[in-house]
Amino acid sequence: MTIKTLKSTSIVILLWVACHINAKPSSALIPYHLKEILSNLSVQEKIELVTGVGYEQSPQGMTGYTTSIERFGVPHMALLDGPQGIRIDWSKKDLNYSIRPTAFPTATALASSWDKKLVFKVGEAIGKEARHINADIILGPGINLQRNLLGGRNFEYYSEDPILTGRIGASMVMGIQSVGVGATLKHFVANNSETNRAALDIVVDEKTLRELYLRGFKIAVQDGQPRAIMTAYNLLNGVHTSQDRRLITQILKKEWGFEGIVMTDWMSGTDAAQQISAGVNLIMPGSSDDRSSIKKSLQSGRLRMEQLDQSVEEVLRSAINPLPTLHSYKLLNKEKLLKNNRSLARVAAANGMVLLRNKGKTLPLKSNIREIAFFGNGSYHSLISGLGSGRVCSTYRVNIIEGASNFGYGQSKLLEEIMRNYLPKSNPHSVCDYGGGFGRDPELIDERDISEKEIGLIERQSDAAIITIRRLPGEGKDLSEEDHFEVSQTELSLVRSVSDIYRNKKKPVIVILNVPAPIETESWADHADAILVSWLGGQEMGNAVFDILTGKQNPSGHLTASWPKKYSDLQSASGFPGIGTSEKLIPIFGGGDMAKPTKIEYLEQDSVGYRDILQSQKSVAYPFGFGMHYTEFELSNMYIKQRPHNVEVLMTITNIGEVSGADVIQVYSVNSDKGDVTFRELKGFRKTDILSPNQSADVTVTIPYRELEIFNNDNDCGWMLEKGTYLFFAAHSSQHIMSSGMIKLKGYPSCEKNG
Ligand code: BGC
């Protein structure tokens, strides 16, 4: 075919795409033309297609941009950070956006709703905002496991459990993609800590890798069908994940059937040609060094043209084939979209908040409470997201104090004055307008000591006390036990003194935890009448806190990670954030100490989070899956049905309290023939609709056999379902079992069902 006929063919392609935009791409037509384009591309064009244009060169605050090939009508693809919303880099000069995007609650906060429908809606809303600024692919969701509570990016991830992570991740992907924008699962795989992340080797055995760290990705890939996946910075058993052919080509593409784009994390790995031969389609953000390394490797024969062609083909396919859903969403007027998304951000934040304590039904707040004293910097400068590429710079944020005033509460004037004089001037964009969200937050200063004398005076001006404890995480750095997990002396004495003085006058003390991850509560929880975890709850967090505190909404969030009594209670604590020191500094992107640690060994194997706690039988402050409501739910009529592709656990849930609310049902299972029945694992879950007092609902939790499989490491057989007597527990947390049942499964033998 000549170039001339090819040109007219590509016009036909464009016309076809324009006319059939709502139809599924025809697999007969598009690949045929793809091959034609591919065979007519120059080597330079191919190399440009698999390497982004560079971070600085990406226009309009986008995070990445692919090359277009105009003579064949192949468009650019614009890639934009997530996962909390869309991150526009406001430090860039050429922006012409009139409105800032919505900051939804961070991933952990969202997952704590255990509500897949809600997560889908948030994904859809994020996708719509991306459509408005012509982004094609969102760089989220992040679905790494929260292996250790000090992991610096845990706030961008969902849970310590892979099945919860995979299911919530799939819902987010489907939501984003429902409006025609691609989603990217990241960071594939084992990016569970940040210290020296680009040079850190994660040493993990195959069974643990498959059953814990890859499992969430497998579920989200198979159920969500994401358009893209991003490899991680770290090495996995000695190989950079972006250069690992077994991981990318064997496991992801061949075993799981992934057909989208595999891209690298920004400036990761050490060898662009090896990335392409491993199966990467897109090296991001792309640089001239990447391009010349690929070119040289082609010349020397280290990289074969067929390998490059394979990478190019997927980029081309995604660039010219819009998702079939693209035109199902008609662009709304921007103001209207942002208004809808504001309400959704509030609903999502409230649904993820977790009530940990409510002594004597302190909450909802009684009607005689009108004036509140707000202690803690976080009441005034509430944290709504972490730092880094996940930070969304929204138009505004509702601090907790503003949430209170929106509900008509007054505040102690004396305390308000003390804090106004102490805190820096509030600016919701303080870290966004430079460094694109990576900068240090200038609002983050230590808590002020408030003397008992001052507290005494403040108490006279208020009917209740709210103390906010806050913690700020960020990309590129892990949290520390001392500064994050432990409460400081100032925080501790504030809680104790406020508690003594207020309780003496029979006035309630409520602690709000504006934190990304578990903190220590043993030393002070008894001094609080109520404890609510608001997480880093997005721009509407202050309003959502008061939706819960006032009882406008019944709390229904449950923890997605265990809250230990002591950090050292976790097996993963020893050896975190890694061991070893390298003699030479390894140049990395994302800061940190570049010489150490060099590796981290996952010696605890599958004893992560609640699995660890159940096995060691240590008592926890709050178990995985825990969350209180203002009502009680009763579970009855549980039974189990075996279906061809799954097990169904059926039950009736009744609201036996006095107010309406939604319940979260968790189903754990263990094969009792294996001996250790303490090692039950989450296999399915369901959030009910809102039930009125005395209302019942029949609930089915569906558990595909896939979720019951184990990875057989003894031979090359892979996933299998073992024969056995399986116990199923319907529960309100990993430690609050409501009812149980069992079935015998024949299983399917190893080797029968691979992948
Ligand atoms: C992060 C990714 C992010 C990318 C682009 C990297 O530092 O690890 O999650 O998408 O930057 O901003």
Express each pLDDT in 226-240 by its tens digit. 999 999 999 999 999
Among the listed residues 89, 265, 290, 547, the single catalytic one is: 265
pLDDT tens for residues 178-229?
Answer: 999 999 999 999 999 999 999 999 999 999 999 999 999 999 999 999 999 9
Cα–ligand 1 centroid distance for 192 (angstroms): 14
Looking up tokens 């020893």, which residue turns up? Answer: 574
pTM metric for this prediction = 0.94
328 pLDDT band, cuts 50/70/90, is confident
368 burial via Cβ count (<10 Å: 0-12, 13-18, 19+): exposed
b/e sequence 716-739, b meaning 16+ C-beta within 10 Å: eebbbbbebebbbbbbbbbbeebe
pLDDT tens for residues 493-520?
Answer: 999 999 999 999 999 999 999 999 999 9
Q: In what order do the strands lie in the sheet with 182-188?
A: 64-65, 78-81, 137-139, 182-188, 228-231, 261-263
Average pLDDT score, the chain: 92
Residues 6+ apart with CB under 8 A from 153: 142, 144, 191, 194, 386, 388, 390, 473, 475
The domain limits of the chain are: 43-327, 351-569, 631-749
For ligand 1, is residue 409 a contact (CB within 6 Å)? no
6 pLDDT above the threshold of 60: no
pLDDT value of residue 434: 67
8 pLDDT above the threshold of 80: no
CATH number 3.20.20.300 given to 43-327 = yes
Instruction: Please compute the mean of the pLDDT values over residues 463-481 and round it to a whole number.
Output: 96
Q: Mutation test of ligand 1: which of 55, 56, 81, 91 has the most ligand atoms closer than 8 Å to its C-beta?
A: 81
CATH number 3.20.20.105 given to 351-569 = no
Q: Which CATH class is domain 631-749?
A: mainly beta
Looking up tokens 């849930």, which residue turns up? Answer: 653
Among 663, 4, 73, 75, smallest CA distance to 318 is for 75
Cα–ligand 1 centroid distance for 389 (angstroms): 5
Q: What are phi and psi of 613, to 5 degrees?
A: -65, -45
Kind plus residue range of the DSSP H or E element containing 79? strand 78-81
Cα–ligand 1 centroid distance for 139 (angstroms): 8
Residue whose Cα lies nearest atom 6 of ligand 1: it is: 266
Atom of ligand 1 nearest to the CA of 142: 9
What one-letter code names the amino acid at 289? D
Q: Say how many C-beta atoms besides its own lie within 10 A of residue 500's C-beta.
A: 13
Residue 265 known to be catalytic: yes
pLDDT value of residue 319: 95
pLDDT tens for residues 86-133?
Answer: 999 888 877 888 778 999 999 999 999 999 999 999 999 999 999 999
pLDDT value of residue 594: 66
For ligand 1, is residue 186 a contact (CB within 6 Å)? yes
